[in-house]
């Protein structure tokens, strides 16, 4: 054992040096894309494309089908600009590459199914059938009764 004393280094200083030596700070900044992707690109794109990984200054995005892949390829520069506005410092993404992933569509659909979509929109009744039914109840003197029968008929038709 040597007679020299060891210098005590603060943990924050040590971690700061490690972050700098391994470029973790830049990688961390670029990987924030995963946090803001849906908001930055919008729900329409996010439902068909999700970031997979950042390798160097290249963002890899998984896409549900070839039509969306082509559409996103045409929008690549715009997407890159939108993303780079949200990345701090000079850690910009230089390129975006798209990868077709068949199972992504099912996975994204399953995520949407987990959210409550609410009731389906009402389907308008068949006009001919409704007219026939209106003739049947036309002789009822009480408007409230006619409205009740109409409502029951519509529910029975799966229209309300």
Query: What is the per-residue pLDDT across 78-100, written as a single tens digit (0 to 9) for each?
Result: 999 998 898 876 778 899 999 98
List Cα–Cα distances, 155 to 25, 122, 139, 152, in angstroms: 61, 10, 21, 5
Considering the domain architecture, whether residues 43 and 89 belong to the same structural domain is answered as yes
pTM metric for this prediction? 0.52
Q: Residue 57 falls within a domain, yes or no?
A: yes
- d(CA 67, CA 158) in angstroms, rounded, equals 36
Most trustworthy range by pLDDT among 72-76, 83-87, 114-118: 72-76
Q: What's the whole-number mean pLDDT along residues 18-23? A: 61
User: ∠ at Cα 48 (43, 50), nearest 5°?
Assistant: 85
Considering the domain architecture, whether residues 95 and 131 belong to the same structural domain is answered as no
User: ∠ at Cα 87 (31, 54), nearest 5°?
Assistant: 30
Q: Residue 4 falls within a domain, yes or no?
A: no
In this predicted structure, the answer to whether residue 34 has a pLDDT above a threshold of 80 is yes
Q: What's the whole-number mean pLDDT along residues 59-69? A: 91
CATH number for the domain including 68?
Answer: 3.30.300.180
Instruction: For residue 60, name the pLDDT band (cuts at 50, 70, 90).
Output: very high
User: Where in the sequence is the domain holding 139, given as residue range(s)?
Assistant: 127-156
Average pLDDT of the residues of the chain: 78
Considering the domain architecture, whether residues 149 and 74 belong to the same structural domain is answered as no
Considering the domain architecture, whether residues 84 and 107 belong to the same structural domain is answered as yes
The CA-based diameter of the chain, rounded to the nearest angstrom, is 112
Sign of CA dihedral 17, 19, 23, 29: negative
Considering the domain architecture, whether residues 41 and 109 belong to the same structural domain is answered as yes
Considering the domain architecture, whether residues 22 and 100 belong to the same structural domain is answered as yes
Contact by Cβ (8 Å): 51, 61: yes
Stated as kind and residue range, the H or E segment containing 103 is helix 102-114
């Amino acid at each position: 054992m040597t007679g020299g004393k060891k210098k005590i280094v603060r943990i924050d200083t040590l971690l700061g040096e490690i972050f700098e030596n391994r470029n973790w700070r830049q990688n961390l900044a670029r990987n924030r894309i995963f946090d803001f992707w849906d908001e930055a690109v919008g729900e329409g794109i996010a439902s068909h494309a999700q970031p997979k990984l950042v390798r160097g200054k290249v963002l890899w995005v998984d896409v549900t089908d070839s039509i969306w892949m082509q559409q996103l390829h045409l929008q690549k520069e715009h997407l890159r600009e939108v993303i780079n506005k949200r990345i701090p410092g000079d850690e910009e993404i230089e390129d975006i590459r798209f990868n077709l992933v068949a199972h992504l569509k099912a996975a994204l659909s399953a995520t949407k199914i987990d959210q409550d979509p609410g009731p389906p929109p009402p389907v308008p009744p068949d006009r001919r059938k409704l007219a026939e039914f209106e003739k049947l109840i036309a002789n009822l003197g009480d408007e409230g009764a006619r409205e009740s029968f109409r409502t029951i008929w519509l529910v029975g038709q799966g229209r309300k």
